[in-house]
Structure 1
Amino acid sequence: MFLQDLFGLFSLSAFFMWGFLMAFFFNVFIYTIGLKKGTTLLFSSFVMMCSYTLSDYFFTWLSIKNSLYLQFALYDIATIFALICVYKIVKKTTPSFLYLVLGLSINTIFFLLMYIDGNVLENNKHWWFWEVFIYTVNLIDITMIVALIVDRDILGLHKLKNAIRTLLNPSANSKMP
């Protein structure tokens, strides 16, 4: 629990909320000055900013007793749904879109596993999974913020996706003579 001890639970939450807010403002600026005219990145960063603001500890309106992790999982599922709706409306994606959907999906799985560990199995003794949870979720949140700002394939996920797609269906990528 080094991160939580160092920064505190609320300051990390505020940091990520601030990060998504700054990513949104950056994308508004880039759109306004005309460097990027695509609205997908702008809408995606708006959805992420709204999601992290609404799910912040200070604005938890959906209160399910003793299930903060379940609440966060539900917020992430709703955010994934909102991002998919934006994609369906705009019909385009950006390199950051994959990072957002994949990151939120992984976070959702971790939140559900923490909910099961604490509420269903009633585990209250610290074990290695809690450390993995803290570092993974925070690293994914930072990666999503960076992906929204730089809008590049920073970890090579798109290359990996294309390589897997080629391995699974090699005839789709071969050129016909």
Structure 2
Amino acid sequence: MAFDYFGLSIGALVIWGFFMASLLHVTFYILAVNKNVQALACASILAASYSLSDLTTPANFESIDFAVYFLYDVVTLGAIILAKYLFFRDAKNHPCYVYCCIGLTINALLFFAMFVDSHLLGTYEPWALWYFYSSTVNIVDLVMVSVVILNRDFIGLQLLSRKFLSSKAVV
């Protein structure tokens, strides 16, 4: 039985990153350095979700587990959106909120595509989707960790989302 130690390491790094981001934002809040509760909420929700999904995933990963990850991402996305509208309705969207929503959507779509490909279609041989999935999910997770810690729009997604939403409002 072969183990994917690289994937496990990235997963542990991502979970650790979300926990460290939560602690960082709690510390900033307590010390009144930066009272960004939107970033704190995103980091805490993501840390809880990723930890729970890591704890409940069986050691022998099966194709049905892609559907479980899909559901985790959808529920996590829903929790972040619900937190935004319950607690920060009037606040402007911080980069951490935008990146987490976009990142979780991308991950959920990729998990769903992998579920359809591997479980419903029964594909067992790796092909382009599998390589795209494995690299993209890891990159998106690491970008989300970075943005939750820094709360900066360093890729320009927030700017693009604002332009996209403002152009739709005009139409």
TM-score (ref. length: structure 2): 0.87
The aligned residue for residue 100 of structure 1 is 100
Q: Distance in 2 between matches of 1:168 and 1:78?
A: 26
The aligned residue for residue 126 of structure 1 is 126
* Unaligned segments of structure 1, at least 5 residues: 172-177
Q: Which has the larger radius of gyration?
A: 1
The answer as to whether partners of 2:25 and 2:36 remain within 8 angstroms in 1 is no
- Tell me the SS of whatever aligns to 1:88: helix
Structure 1 position 65, deviation (Å): 6.8
Does residue 68 of structure 2 align to residue 71 of structure 1? yes
Does residue 31 of structure 2 align to residue 33 of structure 1? yes
Q: Distance in 1 between matches of 2:114 and 2:57?
A: 18
| Residues 86 and 168 of structure 1: CA distance in aligned 2, closer, same or farther (over 3 Å) | closer
The aligned residue for residue 164 of structure 2 is 164
The aligned residue for residue 13 of structure 1 is 11
The aligned residue for residue 175 of structure 1 is none
RMSD of aligned Cα (Å): 2.1
- Tell me the SS of whatever aligns to 1:8: helix
Q: Could you report, residue by residue, the CA deviation over 1:130-172 in whole angstroms, capped at 9, with x for unpaired residues? A: 110011000000010001011011111121122223434459x
Which deviates more from structure 2 when the two are superposed, residues 156-165 or residues 98-107? Answer: 156-165
| Residues 65 and 163 of structure 1: CA distance in aligned 2, closer, same or farther (over 3 Å) | closer
| Residues 32 and 131 of structure 1: CA distance in aligned 2, closer, same or farther (over 3 Å) | same
The amino acid that maps onto 1:109 is L
Identical-pair percentage: 29
Q: Distance in 1 between matches of 2:130 and 2:144?
A: 21
Aligned length: 164
- Tell me the SS of whatever aligns to 2:162: helix
